[in-house]
Chain A
Amino acid sequence: MNTAEFESLLGIDPSQAGRKAEAKALQASGVCIDAELRLARALKFEHTLDQAFDIDMPDELQAKLFALADVGSSFAPQAGARLISRSRRWLAIAAGVSMCAIAAFVGYEGNVQPQNALLAQHCNDHLVHEPFALSRRTVVPKDLVERMFAMNGFATHTADGRDLTTLLGDVNYLAPCTVDGKTAMHLVVQTADGPVTVLVMPKVANDGASEVRINSALVRISPLSRVQNSLGAIAFVAESSVSVDAVEARFLKALGVV
């Protein structure tokens, strides 16, 4: 092995067992007089690399993961389900869900456009990721709410000078999320009837205002702009028995949609 070959190995995996012995042998033989220094340099870089990769998990994520077991239980395979192969079972579930969704869309509101139907499904699916968010009752500090909206390109004051967060009222949960691969803000607002999930999605395509019922949930979608076919929508998701009207009115007013 010569110096160039040794450098290649250091570039591929400097921490592999045996590198130290290789460096020592190369240096002792005079083939590479600074082999050990090269190894030390490579290992120092690996140390920095390890530190760079080391990021903390968000505090609330573990709570979400624990809650998944409860959500997952409702999908747990029944005894005898092994009679159907795994892939077929997934296909069957997927087909069933799609059929239910389509039936629900058509059954509830015949004029729901396909784009909104899919968006409503994504919004409803998203709730599974953060089930514990629905029970949050503490109020998110207004400066955090304001910062999150500002980061997503929203004005923090209305044209007539009113404060966005005041118009929104109390927000009980707030997190940056993705819905259908697009950046979204996930908020939960507690009402007297129950929680309302609000998904603000500045970049999703939509078909305009519509309302979709998926099983026992109601998803109401409003465009974020009055300009036709422009991107951006806000979705309000709640149990059918919960009225989203008041929350919707507050949000649309705060965001300058009405």
Chain B
Amino acid sequence: MNPSPRQLAFDALVRRLSPELYRFAYWLCKSRALAQDILQECYLRAWRSSEDLRDVNSAKAWMMTILRREFLRTFERKQFDLTDLEDISIADTVSPSLEAQSESNLLRQMIGKLETKYRVPLVLQVLGGLTGAEISAELGMPEATVNTHLFRAREQLKAMVDIPAGDALKDKMNQHSNTGNLSNTVNIGAAREHRRI
């Protein structure tokens, strides 16, 4: 039997968005198992109400909203007791060097330790590509508060991973420049823009 147009559209939605949505779910709840559950619930809801999706281009924003609501709904309803398996470090196949890999792993642990009020806006900004105003609308809090939380989130992370300052930083920057790593950083804005929902 041939799949229906609705089924084909759903499959395309899974292929296109699920890796990003999984990442989003994972960093919201910090548990792989729960992220999978939330993502599945999110897609199940999306399937059931797919008639509401009129514009395919807005699918990501629509799905992220469903996912975030599902996350909040789940947390409102349940008291979690996640003795997690997350202590297993996540295999990093993206970072170029061992040093960078360990930095990423350390940062992952630190992101997980951020308070929810700091982590959620950061996730929305970095993974969702949302602006401060959009995060403010999404979370229903003043933009100034969102900005404060974003600032504090970064400050805490930087302090935790001990980003070098002054001359040591210059040396490190020069090293990165020489190896071409710094060139990656100029594309951050473009990458975030690409993720925009």
Binding site for B on A (CB under 8 A): 8, 11-17, 19, 37, 40-41, 43-58, 61-62, 64-66, 68-69, 71-73, 75-77, 86, 128-129, 151, 175-178, 180-183, 203
Question: Which range contains the number of B residues in contact with the other chain?
Answer: 35 or more
Contacts of A50 in B (CB 8 A): 126, 188, 191
- Partner among A41, A53, A128 whose Cβ is within 8 Å of the Cβ of B127: A53
B21 nearest CB across to chain A (Å): 9
Contacts of B136 in A (CB 8 A): none
Please report whether the interface of chain B is mostly helix, strand, loop or mixed according to DSSP.
helix
- List the 7 closest pairs (A to B, CB-CB), nearest first: A181-B78, A72-B47, A52-B107, A43-B185, A11-B151, A15-B189, A57-B22
- Check B104–A51 contact: CB distance below 8 A: yes
- Partner among B26, B155, B182 whose Cβ is within 8 Å of the Cβ of A11: B155
Contacts of B126 in A (CB 8 A): 46, 49-50, 53
Contacts of A58 in B (CB 8 A): 22, 32, 36
- Partner among A15, A61, A128 whose Cβ is within 8 Å of the Cβ of B188: A15
Binding site for A on B (CB under 8 A): 7, 10-11, 14-15, 18-19, 22-23, 26-27, 31-34, 36-37, 39-41, 43-44, 47-49, 51, 74, 77-85, 90-95, 100, 103-105, 107-108, 111, 123, 125-127, 131-132, 147, 150-151, 154-155, 157-158, 161, 163, 169-170, 173, 176, 182, 184-186, 188-189, 191-192
Contacts of A8 in B (CB 8 A): 151
